[in-house]
Copies of this chain bind each other. A is one copy, B any other.
Amino acid sequence: MITVLEGGVTTVPGFLAAGVRAGIKRRGLDMMLISSEDGPVAAAGVFTTNLVKGAPVLVTMKHVKNGELGAIIVNSGSANAYTGKRGLRDARQMTRLVARLLKLRTGDVAVASTGLIGLRLPMRRIETGIRAAAEELSNSREASLSAAKAIMTTDTKPKEIAIRVDLEDGTPVTISGMTKGAGMIRPNLQTATMLAFIVTDAVVSSAALKAALQNSTDQSFNMINIDNETSTSDMVLALANGRAKNRPITLKNQDKQFQAGLDYVLTELAWMIAKDAEGASHLIEVQIKNARNRKDARRAALAIAGSNLIKAAIFGRDPNYGRIIAALGYSGASFDPSKLSLELVSDRGRVDLVVRGKPKAKRAFKRARDIMRSKEIEIHADLAAGKACATAWGCDLTYDYVRINSKYTT
């Protein structure tokens, strides 16, 4: 049983947060701090697979290696990526200052930055911001919301969630998190960096936390395909302080309820990102059923969610099943086209486009165009090749996407 709670990261006992303005962005909060009242606790991270990694990613990957973190410092407005050795020094300096203020070791502090690539951080403002954030740390509802606001770049809304879930041993634990990352990007950003920070009071080893985090990420953030691009700065971090005193979750004693709770939190956060994609007029959910295996299901879902031609067709409310079939065909998934079924679903109803290899008559397409009047559209594909399923999210390709991404940055 999963219960959704009011609030964000401060809902979990033992975690404090703050969001302040350091003056990096033109306006709004731009510096966020999360702190563990218990000092360093179990921690795990998942990082961008881009070969070019921002300095904060490199520093945090190193710091999380020993499985513990006590604080996370984040700035928006400048990504500190492609900034060479100076950038690494600046990222380390951020962790050093936080460590000094919160009485931690430098290696216990994670750092993340999001914004423009290739610019040096304004370190004076950053340092002033860090001091202000450390002073404002609080477990209040407002502190959590300010923190979620401070990591926003082109996001139009802060994105946070908190839930309670009963573990297999009956202990209730709280899991909460915040994220940022608009899929469609404003001119002054390079690629949409996705950041997410999760905290929980569960007792969980860092290895088990890492495995669970990777699982959840694979079916949530990794299934958003807005424009096929991978940023230099993506990062998902999770901290677990063990205050719930449940039977310890380890790699050998995993807990399905904990995994389900984490899946829920990350999937909701991923959905919020897709929904907030700039320039989009339709949110698209792709559900693949009966694929040969999970890999095939994921490939097929991501190919449809990432196809420019399908995205443009959905913008124009065109139930162009040929493009969906072509995308499934080049996705790498194995299936028999003559057994394929396609269905279109929204809150206005559902309609079959193809049933076991047979395209439906013209009437179905009229109905489909009406169904596509909804803002949220689901494409269901049944590959009839096995039992695996997967869900991916994307959005349509609009004039606004082109307008937003063609403006000068330099």
Interface size on A, residues (CB 8 A): 66
> In the complex the two chains form, what is the Cα distance from A53 to B326 in whole Å?
9
Q: Which of A177-204 touch B at CB < 8 Å?
A: 185, 187, 190-191
Residue A409 interfacial (CB < 8 Å): yes
Given A309-B191, A312-B401: A409 and B318 within 8 A (CB)? yes
User: Contact between A229 and B327 (Cβ–Cβ < 8 Å)?
Assistant: yes
Q: Which residue in chain B gives the minimum CB-CB distance to A312?
A: B405
User: Contact between A318 and B52 (Cβ–Cβ < 8 Å)?
Assistant: no
Residue A232 interfacial (CB < 8 Å): yes
Render A197-239 as a binary contact track against B, CB cut-off 8 A, 1 for contact: 0000000000000000000000000000001111110000000
Of all A-B residue pairs in the complex, the 6 with the closest CB atoms, nearest first, are: A316-B406, A52-B329, A312-B405, A117-B322, A190-B322, A365-B410
Given A312-B405, A321-B118: A330 and B230 within 8 A (CB)? yes
Which of A116, A232, A322 has the most B CB atoms < 10 Å from its CB? A322
> In the complex the two chains form, what is the Cα distance from A117 to B313 in whole Å?
15
Q: Which residue in chain B gives the minimum CB-CB distance to A333?
A: B51
CB proximity of A233 to chain B, nearest CB, Å: 9
Residue A328 interfacial (CB < 8 Å): yes
Residue A171 interfacial (CB < 8 Å): no
User: Contact between A338 and B406 (Cβ–Cβ < 8 Å)?
Assistant: no
CB proximity of A358 to chain B, nearest CB, Å: 8
User: Contact between B230 and A228 (Cβ–Cβ < 8 Å)?
Assistant: no
> In the complex the two chains form, what is the Cα distance from A389 to B338 in whole Å?
41
Given A227-B308, A401-B402, A402-B399: A330 and B410 within 8 A (CB)? no
User: Contact between A229 and B409 (Cβ–Cβ < 8 Å)?
Assistant: no
Q: Which residues of B contact A322 (CB under 8 A)?
A: 81-82, 116-118, 190-191, 409
Given A82-B325, A322-B82, A410-B318: A405 and B308 within 8 A (CB)? yes
Interface of A is mostly: loop
User: Contact between B51 and A337 (Cβ–Cβ < 8 Å)?
Assistant: yes
* Given A50-B329, A82-B359, 12 new contacts (CB under 8 A): A51-B335, A52-B326, A52-B337, A191-B322, A228-B308, A230-B326, A313-B405, A313-B409, A318-B409, A319-B410, A320-B410, A401-B402
User: Contact between B190 and A405 (Cβ–Cβ < 8 Å)?
Assistant: no
CB proximity of A18 to chain B, nearest CB, Å: 29
CB proximity of A246 to chain B, nearest CB, Å: 38
Q: Which residue in chain B gives the minimum CB-CB distance to A359?
A: B118
Q: Which residues of B contact A329 (CB under 8 A)?
A: 50-53, 230, 232
> In the complex the two chains form, what is the Cα distance from A312 to B327 in whole Å?
22
Residue A323 interfacial (CB < 8 Å): yes
User: Contact between A309 and B397 (Cβ–Cβ < 8 Å)?
Assistant: no
User: Contact between A51 and B318 (Cβ–Cβ < 8 Å)?
Assistant: no
User: Contact between A308 and B229 (Cβ–Cβ < 8 Å)?
Assistant: yes
CB proximity of A121 to chain B, nearest CB, Å: 15
CB proximity of A325 to chain B, nearest CB, Å: 6
Render A393-410 as a binary contact track against B, CB cut-off 8 A, 1 for contact: 000011101110111111
CB proximity of A396 to chain B, nearest CB, Å: 8
Residue A362 interfacial (CB < 8 Å): yes
CB proximity of A82 to chain B, nearest CB, Å: 6
Given A191-B323, A337-B82, A359-B82: A313 and B229 within 8 A (CB)? no
User: Contact between A406 and B330 (Cβ–Cβ < 8 Å)?
Assistant: no
Residue A315 interfacial (CB < 8 Å): yes
User: Contact between A402 and B410 (Cβ–Cβ < 8 Å)?
Assistant: no
Residue A49 interfacial (CB < 8 Å): yes
> In the complex the two chains form, what is the Cα distance from A118 to B407 in whole Å?
39
User: Contact between A320 and B190 (Cβ–Cβ < 8 Å)?
Assistant: yes
